[in-house]
Amino acid sequence: MKKIISIVSALALSSLTYQASASNELCLVSNNDCTFVLLSTKVSVKVSQIVSEQESDKVTQGASFIEESEKLLLVNKARARQRFSPFSTFKVPNSLIGLDTQIIADAKQALTFDKEKYPVQKWWPSVWKLAEYNLNSALKFSMVAIYRQLATDIGQQKMQSYVDNFAYGNQDISSGIDNFWLGGSMKISAIEQVQFLQRMHQHQLAVKPQSIEILTEVMLVDSTADYKLYAKTGAGKVTATDKSSKAMLGWYIGFVENSAGVHYFAFNFTRASYAKMKAARIKIAMNHLKKAGII
């Protein structure tokens, strides 16, 4: 197998960095408040051709090969390597661990949480107050209490073992089993997010294949004749200890499957408020995927 890795640095992305507008906003190299990472993989297989040489009554078989190529695109390399709290993007590995430990049997199993430990709050959105949840709805609506309960059920020892095996970010869950990913001790970079997604998609993690297959189906957010998009959002305060600041970190991570291969991506940025972050988070990531010809 021949593997070719092509790295495109942010400095070489002049064609991707133009003035933002309401419809085409991108993460610009001139700003360090955002980063976009895209790892595209393609496997080419040349089928062996068998030629019959009738005169000599011999068969000659042509050489066959498998070539795997990767192209890594980085916007703002320094920030791409900077670790932040994963916030709700950790629901991806959390779900995978829940499935692999069989705490979650399938995507339709009813999921509950301790309402005394995690009482309903007035500020909760309506989608966090549904009568029941399963993996599909809990991930779709990013229901925090369900995932805090899931992490508690997994337990400190098993959770640590899995995040170590996944090589997930700094692998630090010391700040609390039910909140380490919510502005706590767990930190991960955009590059590490992409690397984790690639290992998961390529079944390079020590988990049951069925666990990955179920999670992948649940992560599907868009399917067209040209591509399938699997993704997860994440958001939280940039500085949890600074109550005077409303600055928010936003994540959008995932992968796209199309005819050219599989494309793993991670985008994060900061905005002055939750409303401003939420309004632009998915839009900017999608603009990058469109600009790169992925979707």
Residue 21 annotated as catalytic: no
d(CA 192, CA 228): 22
List 40, 85, 88, 142, catalytic entry: 88
CB 84 within 8 A of CB 19: no
User: Is residue 84 exposed (0-12), middle (13-18) or buried (19+ Cβ within 10 Å)?
Assistant: buried
CB 216 within 8 A of CB 206: no
Other CB atoms within 10 A of residue 177 CB = 17
User: Is residue 70 exposed (0-12), middle (13-18) or buried (19+ Cβ within 10 Å)?
Assistant: middle
The token duo for 135 is 């993996």
Instruction: Please identify every residue annotated as catalytic.
Output: 88
